[in-house]
Amino acid sequence: METRKTQVAVPVFLAIMTLIVSQVAFAGKDSLHERHMAELQVVKASLVRRNLPGFVSPPPTPPQAVPGPRVYQVISYGADPTGKADSTNAILKAMEDAFDGPDHGVLMEGINDLGGARIDLQGGSYLISRPLRFPSAGAGNLLISGGTLRASDDFPVDKYLIELNDESSKLQYIFEYITLRDLLIDCNYRGGAIAVINSLRTSIDNCYITRFGDTNGILVQKGHETYIRNSFLGQHITAGGDKGERNFSGTAVNLVGNDNAITDTVIFSAAIGVMISGQANLLSGVHCYNKATGFGGTGIYLKLPGLTQNRIVNSYLDYTGIVAEDPVQLQISGTFFLGDAFILLKSINGVVRGVNIVDNMFSGSDNGVQIVQLDQTNKAFENVDQVVVDRNNVNGMATRSTVAKASVDGNGTSWTVDFNQVLLFPNLIKHVQYTLVARDGGAFPIHAVRNVSDNRVVVQTNAPVTAEVYVTVDQ
């Protein structure tokens, strides 16, 4: 500051001295003197103004701070990562703040885009005494991840630890694009883990769900496009051969909606692995060893008589099978059935249409268990159309198919081919093709199919002949 004052004072002094000298030299000239005095005042005023604080150049404006990522860390809200204290209120507060955060537009009508906000469980284990729910409907584009949730001893047995639900909402869909990732959810045999109700584009990824009660591990109801992938579900923590397997209960995944998918997921204990009562669902890469069929368990149960429209592909049914009620448009292919596991078609109203059970592998223990079976206790299957059971390879079980080939040979006028050991449906042959090869060189008999009934085909000739008859049928 002293240097700056010196730099300013020197020019002022020189200017004053110059004007004084001019004034002395030209004292007699009043007009010139007055002009120089005016100039002196102007110079002095200018130099003084430059030295004032207001005329110092302001520092450059710092750049505006960029808002940080919207990550809601539950420990900062008071959640106890050791699992000793109840963390329900703290996590609910984090969910509330995430829900109330700035939105980034709108997804489906009435659903705010939260911009990818994250609720971070920070690798902790948290005790939960009541369901974790958002304040109301209308949130989307949000992630909950990275920790363990454990139900308390007084958690409601009819609830779920995480519930995407709002019974009062009038929106077409309650939530959209909510992701639950990298979670272990321990239900403490008190209730279920996750309920996704009337939501859109929900992802459940890399989750371990266990110890659910006599209810569902995951419930998906209404809505569209809930994707469950890379996850593990079991009522009891086991790796098979559990001594208590007969007592396993509950359902690991219950899909009561359309257009959902379960992929690359293991279900290791439950009475029912997957229950499906909605259309257009896909199961791929699903391994079920939840409860053996011999103990009353079912791997996958399709409870949607008359309008199934589901696909089960590239999966693994391990000592537990598939049940489908009145299936219409059902695909089961590329799947491995181990330990006498089989497919049961159960009649409700006697309808089975558009069913493909093809290209599967069946392995059993040579007890004569049929790979595909019919339950016609309620009513016989009367409406059978476009059903293909074929190209399955079988080891140690009894083959069943809707397409069969056989041959008989002998000498006579009648040949009967019995397909009852192979054909799936009783007394049902829709198409027959046959070839008669006469072994007598000079024989040229007249022959025809004379009877098709009770899954038998009878071919007769007009004269005795040594021949072999080849027959192909389908249902």
Q: Are 304 and 329 in contact (CB under 8 A)?
A: no
CA distance 250 to 274: 10
Q: How far apart are CA 32 and CA 36, in angstroms?
A: 6
Evaluate if residue 238 carries a pLDDT over 60.
Answer: yes
**Per-residue pLDDT at 21:** 39
Return the pLDDT at 60. 54
Instruction: Check residue 16 and give its pLDDT.
Output: 43
Rounded to 5 degrees, φ, ψ at 294 are -65, -20
Confirm whether 11 is domain-assigned: no
With vertex at residue 188, the alpha carbon angle to CA 186 and CA 191, rounded to the nearest 5 degrees, is 95
Please give the pLDDT value at position 36.
Answer: 53
Question: pLDDT band for position 69 (50/70/90)?
Answer: low
25 is a domain residue? no
Residue 25 contacts by C-beta under 8 Å, 6 or more apart in sequence? none
CB atoms within 10 A of CB 53: 5
**pLDDT value of position 263:** 99
Calculated CA dihedral for residues 122, 124, 127, 129, nearest 10 degrees: 20
Beta strands in 13-111 (DSSP E): 71-73
Q: Is the residue at 424 inside a domain?
A: yes
pLDDT tens-digit readout, 240-255: 999 999 999 999 999 9
What is the rounded CA–CA span in Å between residue 291 and residue 271?
Answer: 6
Say if residue 415 is in the same domain as residue 333: no
Is there a single domain that holds both residue 305 and residue 444?
Answer: no
DSSP line for 440-460: STT----EEEEEEETTEEEEE
- Helices (H) then strands (E): counts for the chain: 3, 30
Q: Tell me the angle at which helices 2-25 and 30-51 cross, rounded to the nearest 10 degrees.
A: 180
Q: What is the DSSP string of 157-204?
A: TTSEEEEE--TT--SSSSEEEEEEEEEEEE-TTSSEEEEEES-EEEEE
Element (H, E) at 474: strand 456-474
Mean pLDDT of the chain: 90
What length does the chain have? 475
Q: What percent of the chain has pLDDT over 90?
A: 82
**Confidence check: pLDDT of 7 > 60:** no
Q: Is the pLDDT of residue 27 over 60?
A: no
For residue 46, pLDDT over 90 is answered with no
Residues 282 and 407 grouped into a single domain: no
Which residues have CB under 8 Å from 152's CB, separation 6+?
A: 86, 127, 128, 129, 188, 190
Residue 439, pLDDT above cutoff 80: yes
Instruction: Tell me which of 12 and 144 has the higher pLDDT.
Output: 144
The whole-number pLDDT of residue 102 equals 82
Given a cut of 90, whether residue 24 has pLDDT beyond it is no
pLDDT at 54 > cutoff 60:
no
What pLDDT sits at residue 37? 55
pLDDT in tens, 278-299: 999 999 999 999 999 999 999 9
- DSSP-derived secondary structure letter, 54: G
pLDDT given for residue 464 in this prediction:
94
Question: 241 Cβ partners below 8 Å, 6+ apart?
Answer: none
CA distances (Å), 420 to each of 39, 339, 401, 434, in order? 126, 24, 10, 17
Q: Which domain holds residue 466?
A: 403-474
Residues 422, 397 contacting (CB under 8 angstroms)? no
φ/ψ region of 53 (left if φ > 0, alpha if ψ in -120 to 50, else beta) reads: alpha
Domain boundary among 345, 371, 395: 395
pLDDT in tens, 92-128: 999 999 999 887 888 999 999 999 999 999 999 999 9
Q: Are residues 382 and 430 in the same domain?
A: no
What is the total count of domains within the chain?
2
Same domain, 439 and 469: yes
Q: What is the pLDDT of residue 460?
A: 96
1 lies in some domain: no
The sign one gets for the Cα dihedral 337, 340, 345, 348 is negative
Structure tokens at 242: 């559990």
Q: Is residue 66 part of a domain?
A: no
Residues 310 and 417 in one domain: no
**Are residue 274 and residue 419 in the same domain, yes or no?**
no
Average pLDDT over residues 360-380: 98
279 plus 391 within the same structural domain: yes
Instruction: Look at residue 49 and tell me if it is in a domain.
Output: no
Work out the percent of the chain whose per-residue pLDDT is above 70: 85
Query: What pLDDT is recorded for position 103?
Result: 74
CA 316 to CA 251: how far, in whole Å? Answer: 17
The residue type at 309: Q
User: 374 with 418, same domain?
Assistant: no
Q: Is residue 142 part of a domain?
A: yes
The pLDDT of residue 442? 77
Instruction: Supply 130's token pair.
Output: 């009541």
Q: CA-to-CA distance for 198 and 220, rounded, in angstroms?
A: 8
Per-residue pLDDT at 65: 42
Task: Tell me: do 434 and 387 sit in the same domain.
Answer: no
Please identify, among 365, 395, 425, the residue that sits at the C-terminal boundary of a domain.
395
- At 330-367, the pLDDT tens digits run 999 999 999 999 999 999 999 999 999 999 999 999 99
Specify the pTM.
0.84
Q: 207 with 218: CB under 8 angstroms?
A: no
Q: Where is the domain boundary, 344, 360, 395?
A: 395
pLDDT on residue 39: 56
Residues 174 and 96 in one domain: yes
User: Is residue 40 a part of any domain in this protein?
Assistant: no
Q: Are residues 415 and 336 in the same domain?
A: no
Tokens of 409: 């040979």
Average pLDDT over residues 408-422: 95
Q: Which residue has the higher pLDDT, 82 or 20?
A: 82
**Which of 131, 105, 125 lies closest to 116, judged by CA?**
105
Q: Is 59 helix (H, G, I), strand (E, B) or coil?
A: coil
Confidence label for 17 from pLDDT (cuts 50, 70 and 90):
very low
